[in-house]
Amino acid sequence: MIKLMVAALWISIVTTGAVFYSFQAAQAPDEAASDAEASAFHGLDYVRTGVISVPIFDKGSVHGYFLARLVFTADGQRLAQLKLPAEALLADQVYSFLYANPEIDFTKRDDLDVDSFRTSLRAGLNMRLGEDFIREVLIEQVDYLPKEIVPSQKPRNAVAIGN
């Protein structure tokens, strides 16, 4: 009878250990997947901005307009935790970059270093947020419109009604 009780106890201990081990092993891949590096195929969200229009001043008057539409990638979970609109942060960084670099001449097409522009935007945003938040900045559209091309917004003459 004692042999039967020892055998039953041994089977219970082995079964409990096997169940405990299987639960531990089943949870391990989920933790590894969440810790895995985000890539273009998994874990990153793409945020597309509207057209960002920055007036370019020259000697106190508007010389033209820098237009950009950008896309940036960030970790989806961290992006959901962000309290500020991500598009507003990126637009502010574009303004800051362009006004901090007045030596850029937009009338010359080869004067704008696109790689430096993207790198500076990403580094500035990550520095502002205090972590490596923005993974990549992609340029969808970049244009420069001289003031002569943009139609003026002169007020129309008011038409008198009645009398």
Pairing of strands 134-146, 52-58: unpaired
Distance of CA 103 to the CA centre of its chain: 27
Q: Are 38 and 75 in contact (CB under 8 A)?
A: yes
User: 67: which strand partners?
Assistant: 53, 143
pLDDT at 39: 56
**How many other CB atoms sit within 10 Å of the CB of residue 120?**
18
pLDDT at 118: 87
Note down pLDDT in tens along the chain; length 163 residues.
888 888 888 899 989 988 888 888 777 655 445 555 555 556 688 888 888 888 877 777 887 888 888 888 888 888 888 888 888 888 888 888 877 876 676 666 666 778 888 888 899 888 988 888 888 888 888 888 887 777 666 555 544 444 4
Is the pTM here over 0.75, yes or no?
A: no
pLDDT at 163: 45
pLDDT at 152: 64
Q: Are 71 and 138 in contact (CB under 8 A)?
A: yes
pLDDT at 13: 92
Both tokens of residue 150?
């943009």
pLDDT at 160: 47
Both tokens of residue 127?
């520095």
Q: Provide the 8-state DSSP code for 2.
A: H
pLDDT at 155: 53
**How many other CB atoms sit within 10 Å of the CB of residue 76?**
13
Q: Measured at the alpha carbon of residue 142, what is the angle toward residues 129 and 115, in degrees to the nearest 5?
A: 60
pLDDT at 110: 63
Both tokens of residue 161?
């009604």
Q: What is the dihedral of CA 54, 58, 60, 64, to 10 degrees?
A: -40
pLDDT at 96: 85
Closest among 70, 160, 80, 58 to 122, alpha carbons compared: 70
